[in-house]
Structure 1
């Protein structure tokens, strides 16, 4: 009897069709595991790093293709990128191991979007979530923002288009040079109920396809400022224009913890607001214990807000 697989019968044809799916599955697994090896030429490596969590969407698509081809070989191959993705990012979906007890301080960060038609509505939604400290970026209408926040947050520090609104007194504040040629970051010392808390509100340089040099330089400058800061308790709020999976984020990873990674659930994507696929907005910290972290969909901005609670 002639073996159908050798003679090109139905089973053999299915196996050959499954080879393409298996090859794609192997390539996806290699990219997931080795995305940092992609050369960062014109920001290509950073882009791949940033979208790597989304590459997991390829797993069900490949599994469907393998099922349609009725190829056991392809289905087995698809298990490889699935295992790699789970090893890298599956932990983000586990229940957070946040500290028990109420937060002593609750913070939020929101990029308002330049030209926001109703910034008061945006910041009002953030305030209604119960933050004690609100860091804002792309503030171009101080009057409307102030009118919405000043009653609940009587203490304010601002530099250029970034600002901090606080329920508690701000002892001092100053601009922080991140290499843009003007200050688009600030450092403030907040007199929180259990002691001083240093807060940075930051908007780093923009990143575009093939143009990440300015963003990379500003991130390096921010890391240098944080490294030199002696404050025992410190929080960074802001739009850093990069995801925590990006290789250029490494200098901050070595200095600070990520509230979403430690006390949130899921990736916490924030941009674009209607259907977010990445997280340029962050709450980073040291010297504190996170109790919660999340994302808030606010009106009229192209970014969602990020929130976190801490105790010490």
Structure 2
């Protein structure tokens, strides 16, 4: 075999493989676009559909990876195919990074919600970082050191309501409070009426049932129970603070999103991921509302908890 023949053989084989691999990259791009558009069509068997729904915003990470693969294969067709999921992702979620349309105006109410984490070694440190944001109302979940929390908050937040492991701390008087049954068999939610300078505000502090891979039935049932309770609540102004153990993109969240606005979506920027705290990839913690106008929303990285805190501002 001559040297020229060897060179031609070496040059020809990679070209064929590059073409095939470019085709694979293009097919993966089309499949990614279809999954972004049709994730709700994934059967919710053992919570699979909910998992895909919640992870859908992260699927955008596949776009630069596929683009890199197309460049490495020197495939223009594959690179053009990658534009499809890029455009779909941008249409679905790009707006989350734009300046919020409802963020203008004077803030008259600031709220925060924090899952403290059961067994938190230093709740005072967690709450200290939270109070630096100066919220008027603080909703807490997984409270197992009531005395420690009282020592950290009691001075600035003289009014408190607590049920089981959830609690509300307020700068303003709490006129009434009671537990809310979400179907867990024990109450892990409360409803309180806070007398603010602008009028009464109904506040829910909630920790819904846990969800694990393949086991979401309890979470789904508690979310449906909360939605039914909120639907029957005739308070004109209402806020829900809590760890709902799923993201707003989850199909089971629908009954709540039809009733309440999402402060992060309406007045924040980005996805506002909160869990796990060190490298958050999803948002189980929420501030939901009705009868108010959101002016701000954000996330705080507080120490000694496995969740980041969520905050929001409103005007009447």
Query: TM-score scaled to structure 1, two decimals?
Result: 0.96
CA-atom RMSD, angstroms? 1.3
Instruction: Pick from 160, 174, 192 the counterpart of residue 156 of structure 1.
Output: 160
- Counting matched residue pairs gives 307
Which shows bigger deviation, 7-16 or 89-98? 7-16
Task: Please tell me whether residue 305 in structure 1 is matched to residue 309 in structure 2.
Answer: yes
Deviation for aligned residue 1:186: 0.2
SS in 2 for 1:164: strand
Whole-Å separation in 2 of the counterparts to 1:208 and 1:258: 24
Matched, 1:236 2:240: yes
**Corresponding residue of 1:55:** 59
Task: Name the structure 1 match of 2:115.
Answer: 111
Moved more, 97-106 or 270-279: 97-106
Deviation string, structure 1 residues 41-64 (Cα, Å, up to 9, x no partner): 000000000000000000000000
Contact 1:296/1:304 (<8 A) preserved: yes
Q: Deviations over 1:87-107 (max 9, x none)?
A: 110000111113422211100
What is the aligned partner in structure 2 of residue 15 from structure 1? 19
Q: Matched residues in 1 for 2:143 and 2:44: separation?
A: 32
Structure 2 partner of 1:87: 91
Judge conservation of contact 1:15–1:73 (CA < 8 Å) in 2: no
Aligned to 2:28: 24
Give the match's secondary structure for 2:74. Answer: coil
In structure 2, the gaps of 5 or more residues are 1-7
**Are 2:223 and 1:219 equivalent residues in the alignment?**
yes
Alignment pair present for 1:255 and 2:259? yes
Aligned residue for 1:21, secondary structure, equals helix
How far apart are the structure 1 equivalents of 2:56 and 2:21? 27
Distance 1:20 1:116 in 2: 48
Aligned to 2:178: 174
| Aligned residue among 63, 67, 70 for 1:66 | 70
Q: Which moved more, 1:16-25 or 1:98-107?
A: 98-107
Structure 1 gaps of 5+ residues are none
Structure-2 residue corresponding to 1:269: 273
Paired with 1:293 and 1:55, the residues of 2 have a C-alpha distance of 24
Q: Do residues 246 (structure 1) and 284 (structure 2) align? A: no
Per the TM alignment, residue 120 of structure 1 is displaced from its structure 2 partner at its CA by 1.1
The alignment status of 1:143 with 2:141, answered yes or no, reads no
1: CA distance, partners of 2:259 / 2:196: 22
TM-score, normalization by structure 2: 0.95
Deviation track 1:7-47 (CA, whole Å, cap 9, x = no partner) reads 96765543222001001111111111100000000000000
